[in-house]
Structure 1
């Protein structure tokens, strides 16, 4: 797997190209990595070398090797080197829906501070955060997601037992949105599809998936953009297919979500953006 060189003199990103449900990357940044951004997945990883510094929930976290990074869905954060030596890290991005399939509708676990030294989290994330050239079998991945979900719940102290949320209705609404990515979706439609009062549904969705229905829909559209653009579509065509008003509308959401522009993201894949 080759290194993709970024604009910084020493910066690079490696993407795991294996088809699986979890996105995996390994990267090195000598200075600035990412602007402030937020995505609707857990970002779980570990610093491999150097000091990885990021702003998170009104504070600054400086991560060094030995702990586990756990950035909660929809929490703004950035990324830069804490010293002149730069930092190297490995990260996976885990959709909350995968965690909920294990936890069965409990409130989404939250790890304070964005980093934990708890050995349970370190052990549970070991398989998914192994070296990028080490393959992960599909069943092994499922087992690892199971272990990681329970470790997140245990370390966060998330309560057990029945909660005052309607997981089934929220999951129906989530799947309904996945079937209607290419058009305008209203909360009234989600209410009709799920059978749950729209405002209770909106609250439940945030508790279970860590983000709002609108943000979830926008993120899935951005996933479509990334898939189409990586396959060679122009960014303008990918934006249209994904349901955005135009390329500039998509670019604003993309940059806020991932902390880099779509063109720079394509370069991390070793690809030049196709002309419109």
Structure 2
């Protein structure tokens, strides 16, 4: 197994995610009415997209981490006695139980996305890097990788996220917050090649269904956060990403053999054809329909 640079791959992915999100006409529109869109409930994690002009919220507190990305306009708020300003692409980091308000800093209005993560979700991921939860003193940070992670976790607002993917993202968000808080780095330790190989084998054998983090922990003997780090170090990807790519391999094989796209999606573990379409185009640069047409031409 080859060892890859986690930071290089993550930064590239984050840049693509931010560019795509900021280019979306939904975020760029300044003519829309004020609104808040609330995504489906996600294992106790709340996700919203908000658009408004002027003052949005009076001073209030959350008992969660409030983490967000400014999508358009200037986001302004008072936090720990100071006025703060966030331009598009920057990340907002609000610690639990900290008083703050919120509003648009210009007449053009503001669009932002936020995710509210209960602090107990971070406790397993922060073990070994300090005894307290990460406190980021600067609530506005310019961190493309963290912004990409948050946008990935927030998703498209109308979908849920597979449990395995959610666990991985929460772990990576926790690690990024610890970095910004100045927590000591976790020691790398040994490379768990046999454990990662067992996880790969298990994912290949079970790609047609949802796989949970607890199952991989039982198979490998590693906790979910250690396993995710080992995947990054050894394979340059995450367990969930590895699972998705194996699903795409099966879908391509089935489409090449003449199966319909809907049949290939179902047999490969995707929720539906639209789910396959999104992952297929993102990973392979073309739609399954285009691929099917090319494969049919080759058979003929």
Q: TM-score w.r.t. structure 1 length?
A: 0.52
1:77 corresponding residue in structure 2 = 100
Residue 131 of structure 1 and its aligned partner are, at CA, apart by: 2.7
Q: Does 1:127 align with 2:146?
A: no
More helix per residue: 2
Q: Does 1:89 align with 2:112?
A: yes
Give the Cα–Cα distance (whole angstroms) in 1 for the partners of residues 162 and 142 of structure 2: 27
Q: Which string of whole-angstrom CA distances, capped at 9 and with x for unpartnered residues, describes residues 55-111 of structure 1?
A: 011111111111111111111100011011110110000111111121126221112
Residue 118 of structure 1 and its aligned partner are, at CA, apart by: 2.4
Return the match for 2:35 from 6, 12, 17. Answer: 12
Matches within 5 A, 1:10-159: 10-104=33-127, 106-159=131-184
Give the Cα–Cα distance (whole angstroms) in 2 for the partners of residues 50 and 133 of structure 1: 23
Q: Which runs of 5+ in 2 are unaligned?
A: 1-31, 187-300
Residue 129 of structure 1 and its aligned partner are, at CA, apart by: 2.9
Contact kept in structure 1, 2:39 and 2:159, CA below 8 Å: no
The RMSD of aligned alpha carbons is: 1.9
Q: Which string of whole-angstrom CA distances, capped at 9 and with x for unpartnered residues, describes residues 224-251 of structure 1?
A: xxxxxxxxxxxxxxxxxxxxxxxxxxxx
Equivalent pairs counted in the alignment come to 153
Q: TM-score w.r.t. structure 2 length?
A: 0.48
Contact kept in structure 1, 2:115 and 2:150, CA below 8 Å: no
- Structure 1 runs (4+) deviating above 4 angstroms are none
Moved more, 123-132 or 94-103: 123-132
Give the Cα–Cα distance (whole angstroms) in 1 for the partners of residues 85 and 45 of structure 2: 25
Contact kept in structure 2, 1:57 and 1:113, CA below 8 Å: no
User: SS at 1:125's partner residue?
Assistant: helix
Bigger Cα Rg: 2
1:172 corresponding residue in structure 2 = none
